[in-house]
Amino acid sequence: MPNGRASGLIDLRSDTVTQPSPAMRRAMYEAELGDDVFGDDPTVNALQERAAELLGKEAALFVASGSMANLVSQLGHLGRGQETIAGASTHIVEDEQAGHAVVVGTSVRQMRENPDGTFDLDELGEAFRDPTDPHQPITGLVTIENTHAHSMGQPLSLEYTRRVSRIAHDHGVPLHVDGARFFNAAIALGVTPRELAEPADSVAFCLSKGLACPIGSMVVGSREFVHRAWRGRKLVGGGMRQVGVLAAAGLVALGSGPNGTGSDAMIERLAEDHANARRLAEGLAELPGIESAGGIAQPQSGPLDPRRVTTNFVIFRVRRDRAAFLDALAAHGVLFVEYDHGTIRAVTHYGVTAADVDRVIDAAAAALTATATAPAPATAQAATTAPGHSTRRPGAIDG
Ligand SMILES: Cc1ncc(COP(=O)(O)O)c(C=O)c1O
């Protein structure tokens, strides 16, 4: 089934659960292939050229995942003993097994983040190390995450990105954007991907999230930087061979028009996901028992505020036993996922329609009713959890 609904479930755990579109499957079947470690795969080469063109950079590299994209970007920018400035909740800090330390040999200076996903720029200015002091590491990179996941997927504006870039460059340091959902940000902000990428020295974006490809991420930047990232990719075992079979889906997703347009392209349609997420939040906000996530996702307590939803993430709390609620929801054919600090996350994506969202709201109402008095007994939970679909965060649901 093209929208991945063979199971009959509406799966909102992440936008990573999407299935490739029919056009992607056809392109994958028909892709011209070669050995990409020799640079011979024409489909990979075309995808890399397309990604670079779309973001207005000199070069691009196809890698296996968003984590690998961030890792090889760090390898491309940093030397051992250097330090990266990054948001405390971001994927690079929280969800990549400290690859910066284990593989790159660097430290991270964690920044406090505002509810709109930004840093305080004065605090950013103070986070750079003193290179004349031999006690200190040398700041070698600033990273931002756009969209910013833990603030309910807020898009970071072009103006903010420019200001961060200016501060980084004033200190002689490059800016890397972890843009796992970079196109969601561009669409939400109404700017072109090229404009949003312009202040950054490198951008990593995922093909396998909102763009619905089965696998892969891209790293874009200058030719020199991408060459270093390419060496880094080989170091971490990411040299792939006839991988055009996967790159073909990415080429479809990125379309052929200047801003990622094209009949089967996946970028412009992200606006539907954003509208569906808002619709979902509006419905959930009406339900007694659904509450603010707190923290930077929604600082004000009280009901879920749908205005916090500006891209495809909805994050909230339930006044229930969380696991029991998620199991009851799964019994109604809907999957959400446990998120950080006791919250729950739902993510809209390709294959989920506005009618599905209405079904999800009904299912959430039923699950709240079913769990109103006491947590479901263990046996009932086991019986109602959809087989093979974990709604638990352990097991690395960080997508
Ligand atoms: C902001 C961000 N960066 C990077 C990644 C890593 O992507 P992957 O799961 O493909 O390694 C994720 C995954 O969820 C993410 O949300």
**What's the pLDDT score for residue 395?**
44
Question: How confident is residue 166, by pLDDT bands cut at 50, 70 and 90?
Answer: very high
Segment 122-137 mean pLDDT: 97
Report the pocket of ligand 1 as residue ranges, CB < 6 Å: 65-67, 70, 91, 145, 149, 178, 180, 206, 208, 217, 398-399
The tens digit of pLDDT for each residue in 106-122 reads 999 999 999 999 999 99
234-288 tens-digit pLDDT: 999 999 999 999 999 999 999 988 888 787 789 999 999 999 999 999 999 999 9
Residue whose CA lies nearest to ligand 1 atom number 4: 66
For atom 7 of ligand 1, which residue has the closest CA? 66
List the end-to-end C-alpha distance of the chain, in Å, as a whole number: 22
Amino acid occupying residue 399: G
The answer on pLDDT for 83 being more than 80 is yes
Residue identifier of the C-alpha nearest atom 16 of ligand 1: 399
What percent of the chain stands above pLDDT 70? 92
In words, the CATH class of domain 22-254 is alpha beta
Q: Which two tokens stand for residue 358?
A: 């209405």
Ligand 1 midpoint to CA 153 (Å): 13
pLDDT score for 209: 98
Name which of 178, 97, 194, 112 is nearest 141 in CA terms: 178
374-to-192, 301, 348 alpha-carbon distances in Å: 49, 23, 29
Q: Is the pLDDT of residue 203 over 80?
A: yes
Higher pLDDT, 384 or 122: 122
Per-domain residue ranges of the chain: 10-15+268-384, 22-254
Mutate to test the pocket of ligand 1, among 68, 91, 146, 154 (most ligand atoms within 8 A of CB): 91
pLDDT in tens, 294-319: 999 999 999 999 999 999 999 999 99
Q: Please say if the pLDDT value at position 207 is more than 50.
A: yes
In this structure, of 212-226, 244-258, 373-387, the range with the lowest mean pLDDT score is: 373-387
Distance, in Å, from the CA atom of 72 to the CA atom of 278, rounded to the nearest integer, reads 35
> Between the ranges 6-20, 124-138, 367-381, where is the mean pLDDT highest?
124-138
Is pLDDT above 50 for 1? no
Question: What is the rounded distance in angstroms from the CA atom of residue 109 to the CA atom of residue 103?
Answer: 17
Task: Give bridge partners of residue 318 from the DSSP assignment.
Answer: 290
Q: How far apart are alpha carbons 378 and 315 in whole angstroms?
A: 26
- Across 214-220, average pLDDT: 98
Q: Is the pLDDT of residue 149 over 80?
A: yes
pLDDT number for residue 393 = 53
Segment 72-85 shows an average pLDDT of: 98
CA distance linking residue 259 with residue 291, whole number of Å: 37
**What is the reported pLDDT for 381?**
40
Q: Which atom of ligand 1 is the closest one to the Cα of 68?
A: 11
Report the top-level CATH class of 10-15+268-384. Answer: alpha beta
Q: How confident is the model at residue 64 (pLDDT cuts 50, 70, 90)?
A: very high
Question: Whose CA is closest to atom 8 on ligand 1?
Answer: 66
In this prediction the pTM is 0.94
- Per-residue model confidence (pLDDT) at position 376: 43
Tell me the average pLDDT of the chain. Answer: 93
In this prediction, residues 67-74 reach a mean pLDDT of 98
**CA 265 to chain CA mean position, Å:** 18
Question: What whole-number distance in Å separates Cα of residue 20 and Cα of residue 155?
Answer: 25
What pLDDT, in 10s, does the model give residues 183-202?
Answer: 999 999 999 999 999 999 99
For position 388, what pLDDT does the model report? 58
**In the prediction, which pLDDT does 179 show?**
98
